Amino acid sequence: GENVEQHPSTLSVQEGDSAVIKCTYSDSASNYFPWYKQELGKRPQLIIDIRSNVGEKKDQRIAVTLNKTAKHFSLHITETQPEDSAVYFCAASILGGTSYGKLTFGQGTILTVHP
Amino acid sequence: DSGVTQTPKHLITATGQRVTLRCSPRSGDLSVYWYQQSLDQGLQFLIQYYNGEERAKGNILERFSAQQFPDLHSELNLSSLELGDSALYFCASSVGGGRAPGELFFGEGSRLTVL
């Protein structure tokens, strides 16, 4: 089955700096790669996603890049703010296949943004 | 509010006991997913149902079982509970069980503490 590795496990930055979180996946059939943000004691929420037919996607201060050949994708957060502090999870899935959209998550990255 | 409802929010029980966690998906969502979140294990996929049928199974213990009812709500049954079963159990739902757009909507979770 799919295996997703995520690094780093913790990331500490100063407000205004950029943060980058990287993930690799094992199943070349995976074609959907979402990122979820989980604040302390809350549910995971989707912040951005990318499909395998796209190399990069941006939404204001966040962007995701995908390298299908290398089977890795990254989350980039620019101009970080204290409210960006949370746990971030990457995930991989196969849309349209027999796995019916099951997400396999990475282990998570605890991002701390210091004011 | 994601539209996914989970009950109970908190549950404290003893080893050897059995509990049932309940999930109501978003209106119109046919697919329900169960995830277990322990401190050191990230979000582990347990099982998925689509329109009443089991579609995918993760590393779900034999002591655990689930079902999805005709009204699409789902229940996760945990029996012969052990200390290590203490975790946050999330239910998530999606539109078509693997078709676009692929986003999973998570409930607020049920926090199980086994003493």
Distance from CA of B10 to the nearest CA of A (A): 12
Q: What is the mean pLDDT of residues A79-90?
A: 97
Whether residue A99 has pLDDT greater than 80:
no
Q: Determine whether the interchain pair B56/A32 forms a contact, defined as Cβ–Cβ distance below 8 Å.
A: no
Q: Determine whether the interchain pair B98/A89 forms a contact, defined as Cβ–Cβ distance below 8 Å.
A: no
Q: What is the mean pLDDT of residues A91-99?
A: 77
Whether residue B99 has pLDDT greater than 70:
no
B22 close to B6: Cβ distance less than 8 angstroms: yes
Q: What is the mean pLDDT of residues A53-68?
A: 94
pLDDT-derived band at B1, boundaries 50, 70, 90: confident
Tens-place pLDDT, residues B26-84: 998 888 999 999 976 689 999 999 889 998 899 899 999 999 999 999 999 999 999 99
How is residue B9 annotated by DSSP? S
Chain A residues at the B interface, defined by Cβ less than 8 Å, are 32, 34, 42-46, 49, 89, 93-97, 99-108
Q: Determine whether the interchain pair B103/A108 forms a contact, defined as Cβ–Cβ distance below 8 Å.
A: no
Q: Name the residue among A69, A31, A95, A15 with its Cα closest to residue B102.
A: A95
Residue count of chain A = 115
With CA atoms as reference, the chain A residue closest to B51 would be A100
With CA atoms as reference, the chain B residue closest to A35 would be B103
- What is the pLDDT at residue A102? 83
CA A51/CA A40 separation, integer angstroms: 28
Q: What is the mean pLDDT of residues A61-84?
A: 97
pLDDT-derived band at A33, boundaries 50, 70, 90: very high
Give the CA dihedral A5, B47, B30, B66, nearest 10 degrees: -160
Q: Determine whether the interchain pair B102/A32 forms a contact, defined as Cβ–Cβ distance below 8 Å.
A: yes
Output the CA torsion sign for B91, B82, B65, B59: positive
With CA atoms as reference, the chain A residue closest to B45 would be A104
B25 touches chain A (CB under 8 A): no
With CA atoms as reference, the chain A residue closest to B59 would be A1
Output the CA torsion sign for A66, A67, A71, A73: negative
- What is the pLDDT at residue B48? 92
Q: Determine whether the interchain pair B106/A45 forms a contact, defined as Cβ–Cβ distance below 8 Å.
A: yes
CA A77/CA A14 separation, integer angstroms: 12
- What is the pLDDT at residue B98? 54
- What is the pLDDT at residue A98? 60
Residues of chain A above pLDDT 90, percent: 82
- What is the pLDDT at residue A97? 61
B98 touches chain A (CB under 8 A): yes
A30-B100-B105 Cα angle (round to 5): 95
Q: What is the mean pLDDT of residues B9-18?
A: 97
Residue with tokens 């590795």: A5
Q: What is the mean pLDDT of residues B81-108?
A: 85
Q: What is the mean pLDDT of residues A54-80?
A: 95
Q: What is the mean pLDDT of residues A78-95?
A: 95
